Amino acid sequence: MYSYLEMEDKSFEDIYLNFCGMEECKPSYSYGPAIRDNYLIHYCLSGNGRFHVNNQIYRINPGDVFLITPGQVTFYQADESDPWTYAWFGFDGGKASHYLKNCNLSADSPVASIGEIDTVREIIIDMLAHFKLSYSNEMYIQGKLFLYLSCIAKKTNVANVHENENENIYVQKTIEYIQNNYQNDVSIQEIADYIGLNRSYLSTIFKEHLNQSPQEFLKKYRLKQAEEYLINTDLPINYIASSCGYSSHIPFSKAFTQVYKLGPRDYRKLHGLKNNEFKTSFADN
């Protein structure tokens, strides 16, 4: 059994699928020694085989993945008595190595055991079923590629990421959450729940890395966005307040004055645009 899909149009830049397929190999079937132009992950669905890379030999069992990186010489071979059936996913993109790092796969660490055999089998069959060239199919397949990578990350990330790197990820995700949700009535508890950490621990590691608490960062970020609105638009103060996560102009004005030593209205008079060319059609109130 052999199934194959190749992507002609690649609309994504960070990471995109080049091709994928699935094969039930014959005993002792081999490929290489050879090099590839793109990243390639094989996933063993059943049977066994061997993967040779960097003067090492890895025994591959059902549920294992092995990574081939661009320009790397590799050789792999199906077992002679219990040959493997595997799925493969070839991909590339400007951030492909970044996504692989988050899955704890690299040229130096090319093998991982993830299980999830039924899930991965479904993913590859689903991809192959959407072979017709269309933008909707391309987006669908892109989503399946991320689902596949998430299966790997789920099984490898917690066990293998070093504590300091893990903390950096939590801090980064906290910042991203604040940047995407500062307009809403967001709480630090909500962020901690989203990331999956105890609120106290999140505050501790955030302060260790940035010398400020998440609450302080959220407040400063909101006020910085408000400052931009005051300088570059003529949006009413109450509009700016609600756009930056404040329930009304009163707590917003109080917080702004504490940091900038001027009320929002006076700050706008001092620093706002001198002409109306780029302003909105609203009048200040």
Where exactly are the structural domains of the chain? 2-160, 163-285
2-160 matches 163-285 in fold: no
pLDDT surpassing 50 at residue 70: yes
* Predicted confidence (pLDDT) at residue 111 exceeds the cutoff of 70: yes
Reported confidence tier of residue 279, pLDDT bands at 50, 70, 90? very low
- Model pLDDT for residues 207-249, shown as the tens digit of each residue: 988 888 999 999 999 999 999 899 889 899 999 999 999 999 9
How are beta strands 85-92 and 39-46 bridged, if at all? Answer: antiparallel
Mean pLDDT of 133-140: 81
pTM of the model: 0.57
Residue 113 reports pLDDT greater than 80: yes
Going by pLDDT thresholds of 50, 70 and 90, the confidence category of residue 11 is low
- In whole angstroms, give the CA distance from residue 72 to residue 39: 10
CATH topology of domain 163-285: Arc Repressor Mutant, subunit A (1.10.10)
Stretch 35-47: mean pLDDT: 93
Q: What is the pLDDT of residue 46?
A: 94
pLDDT at 157: 54
Q: Phi and psi for 246 in degrees, rounded to 5? A: -100, 145
Predicted confidence at residue 239, as pLDDT, reads 95
Give the list of residues 6+ apart from residue 62 with CB closer than 8 angstroms, or none.
44, 45, 46, 47, 48, 117
The mean of the pLDDT values for the chain is 85
Tell which wins on pLDDT, 224 or 167.
224
How many other CB atoms sit within 10 Å of the CB of residue 100? Answer: 23
Q: Could you please state the CATH topology (level 3) that the domain comprising 2-160 is classified under.
A: Jelly Rolls (2.60.120)
274, pLDDT greater than 70: no
Element (H, E) at 206: helix 199-210
pLDDT at residue 160 is higher than 80: no
